[in-house]
Chains A and B, each alone.
Chain A
Amino acid sequence: MIEVRHLTKSYGPKKAVNDISFTAEDGQVLGFLGPNGAGKSTTMNILTGYISSTEGQAFINGVDILEDPIKAKSFIGYLPEQPPLYFDMTVDEYLSFVYSLKKCRLPKKSHLNEICDIVKLTDVRKRLIKNLSKGYKQRVGFAQALVGNPKVLILDEPTVGLDPKQIIEIRTLIKRLGRNHTVILSSHILPEVQAVCDRIVVINKGRIVANDNADSLARNLSADHKLVLHIEGGSEEVKKLLGSVTDVERVFVGRQVDERVWEYHVEAKEGADVRREIFRKLAARNYPILLMRSNELSLEEVFLKLTTGDEYGGAEKLERKFDRIEKGEDKK
């Protein structure tokens, strides 16, 4: 179990991590999601005792990482962003070095065999690490974290640099390990976190912006009064038509989906259900609706909404700005 209380890390006036608290229970995979530079690696480095926190506490299985670092570290298997490999060693030499470094007491041969089996390294055990491909190096890093069968696994972007097949393998592996370990993994790949994690902590600019399980995160942020439509027909007329529907406040024309098919974002008053009227109006003018869905945000959108305060994200924001400029509302 990992418990983090009010963790803050300052570099001078800049706060890399700002008052974050969360808990990862046993048998739980916790995803740490955030853009680059959000403070994911900093938090992980604090949890593993590589750097200290400026304020706050981190407990690994109830042991404060600052008070008894050696004991706390003995519970942790850590895969840093860049796997800490010695290129002049073979995989076997490296793993047995880690084995003795961690003062592991499990039967050495069978334990290392098992690990190599799990991460599929058995074929390259006699090879020098420097000659391995990036995917294999990542696996050696993973294997290193597993040595000693630690209760807590902290994995910093574990699937970076792997090919799609390897990514699926590693994800399956993490899920399997999650059953009897506490796993924290960081990522900026949303489907990955969605696929693997029970719980998601979204972090941006050093602060936690959401901490929930994946499904309810999307549900809580869903917006029924916002619709996404694909409609066949001239975009200007359709836009006007949509705008004339009762309670509709704003209509944006999105990307062109197909020849003569555009995407539209409709925002109605909160609580209003405008779907029926939209259908009738468009049907009357013979504009086929090819798709209509309420804007239940995907994790991608949730993420953008949480971190930029806008579910349409950067690109569409820009589009809206252009819209305003065209209308002459924005003179800049």
Chain B
Amino acid sequence: MTAIMKRELSAYFKSPIGYVFIAVSFLFSGFFFWYFALSIGSTDVSFVFLGMFYVYMIFVPVLTMRLMADENKQRTDQLLLTAPVGLMRLVAGKFLSAYCVFMLGDIVMLIYGVVMSFLATVNWAIILGNFVALALIGAVFVSAGLFVSTLTESQMVAAIGSIALNAALSLITVIASIIPVQAIADIISKLAVFDRYYEFTTGIFSLSGVIFFISVVVVFMFLTVRVLERRRWA
């Protein structure tokens, strides 16, 4: 697992992708921080984080698109899948490498909190709540992207597919609201990622929320393993 993680991390920073992702993170979060907080003298960071939610929805797939798609294309999956390594470890290694890069981009959000605390009194519960929420949603996006990347040989298809999947995950509430059958709508809205996300941003730390996000991540990693297994059996 560590071998794969190390290789992937070094691959991120040998190509521009790692730097581009972090730069985009810094650029957008900096802009949102200035626009929604600094320029109007507000300590309410909800919009800063909300903006980043959408940025990550679109940019995390850039990070995850090559994870498996490239292996499939270059046939290097033959090396990984014939090595004496369990599939779950392989998937976990891939996930962790992308998540590390994601967190390098995300961590700057805490610095904005520190900056603000010099200028005004800030509500750390809200900032930390938002930060944890964004970190958790990032894990969901990374695992979803990894899953889609496993399905294809094309990085482009992987990227577009993951953006679509991320959007669908984020819009579950809307989808639920247009389903006429109440029972089904109820079940679907229980899966609503955004509702859980929103709970955190109000500064309420809920263990069930953390477990929910981790479960979603585990489900996607499990699905990824299944796809790799299925190819073996096809």
Residues in A lying within 8 Å of B, measured CB to CB: 11, 45, 48-52, 70-71, 73-74, 76, 78, 80, 82, 84-89, 93, 97-98, 100-103, 144
**Contacting pair B82 A101 (CB below 8 A):** no
**Contacting pair B83 A51 (CB below 8 A):** no
| Residues of B contacting A97 in the complex (Cβ-Cβ under 8 angstroms) | 3, 6-7
**Contacting pair A50 B81 (CB below 8 A):** yes
Q: Is B75 on the interface with A (CB-CB < 8 A)?
A: yes
Q: Is B211 on the interface with A (CB-CB < 8 A)?
A: no
Closest to B77 in A: A84
Given A84-B74, A84-B75, A97-B3; A78-B11 close (CB under 8 Å): no
| Residues of A contacting B234 in the complex (Cβ-Cβ under 8 angstroms) | 11, 51
How far apart are the CA atoms of A48 and B14 in the complex, in Å? Answer: 31
| Residues of A contacting B231 in the complex (Cβ-Cβ under 8 angstroms) | 51
Residues in B lying within 8 Å of A, measured CB to CB: 2-4, 6-7, 10-11, 14-15, 74-86, 231-234
Given A50-B232, A84-B76, A100-B2; A73-B83 close (CB under 8 Å): yes
- Least Cβ–Cβ distance between B52 and chain A, in angstroms: 29
| Residues of A contacting B74 in the complex (Cβ-Cβ under 8 angstroms) | 84-87
| Residues of B contacting A144 in the complex (Cβ-Cβ under 8 angstroms) | 79
**Contacting pair A84 B3 (CB below 8 A):** no
Given A50-B232, A88-B11, A88-B14; A98-B79 close (CB under 8 Å): yes
A-B residue pair count with CB separations less than 8 angstroms: 71
**Contacting pair B82 A48 (CB below 8 A):** yes
Given A52-B233, A70-B86, A80-B75; A101-B11 close (CB under 8 Å): no
In the complex, 14 of the A-B residue pairs with CB atoms within 8 angstroms, ordered by the A residue number, are A48-B82, A49-B81, A49-B232, A50-B78, A51-B234, A70-B86, A73-B82, A73-B84, A84-B74, A84-B79, A85-B76, A87-B74, A97-B6, A101-B85
How far apart are the CA atoms of A101 and B83 in the complex, in Å? Answer: 7
Instruction: State the main secondary structure of chain A at its contact with B.
Output: loop
| Residues of A contacting B79 in the complex (Cβ-Cβ under 8 angstroms) | 80, 84, 98, 101, 144
Given A52-B232, A84-B76; A78-B82 close (CB under 8 Å): yes
**Contacting pair A51 B232 (CB below 8 A):** yes
| Residues of B contacting A73 in the complex (Cβ-Cβ under 8 angstroms) | 82-84
| Residues of B contacting A45 in the complex (Cβ-Cβ under 8 angstroms) | 78
- Least Cβ–Cβ distance between A223 and chain B, in angstroms: 42
Closest to A96 in B: B3
| Residues of A contacting B85 in the complex (Cβ-Cβ under 8 angstroms) | 70, 101, 103
Closest to A69 in B: B84
- Least Cβ–Cβ distance between B88 and chain A, in angstroms: 11
Extra inter-chain contacts (8) besides given A48-B78, A50-B232, A84-B77, CB under 8 Å: A48-B82, A50-B78, A70-B86, A71-B84, A73-B83, A78-B78, A80-B75, A100-B2
How far apart are the CA atoms of A74 and B82 in the complex, in Å? Answer: 9
How far apart are the CA atoms of A98 and B78 in the complex, in Å? Answer: 12
Closest to A70 in B: B84
Q: Which of A82, A86, A102 contacts B7 (CB 8 A)?
A: A86
How far apart are the CA atoms of A76 and B85 in the complex, in Å? Answer: 13
**Contacting pair B82 A49 (CB below 8 A):** yes
| Residues of B contacting A103 in the complex (Cβ-Cβ under 8 angstroms) | 84-85
**Contacting pair A101 B81 (CB below 8 A):** no
Q: Which of B11, B15, B78 has the most CB of A within 10 A?
A: B78
- Least Cβ–Cβ distance between B5 and chain A, in angstroms: 10
Closest to B15 in A: A88
| Residues of B contacting A86 in the complex (Cβ-Cβ under 8 angstroms) | 7, 11, 74, 76
| Residues of B contacting A80 in the complex (Cβ-Cβ under 8 angstroms) | 75, 78-79
How far apart are the CA atoms of A103 and B90 in the complex, in Å? Answer: 13
Please provide the 7 A-B residue pairs with the shortest distance between their CB atoms, ordered closest to farther: A84-B79, A100-B3, A74-B84, A84-B76, A73-B84, A48-B82, A80-B78
**Contacting pair A76 B82 (CB below 8 A):** yes
| Residues of A contacting B84 in the complex (Cβ-Cβ under 8 angstroms) | 70-71, 73-74, 102-103
| Residues of B contacting A78 in the complex (Cβ-Cβ under 8 angstroms) | 78, 82
Closest to B75 in A: A82
Q: Which of A52, A84, A89 contacts B78 (CB 8 A)?
A: A84
- Least Cβ–Cβ distance between A62 and chain B, in angstroms: 16
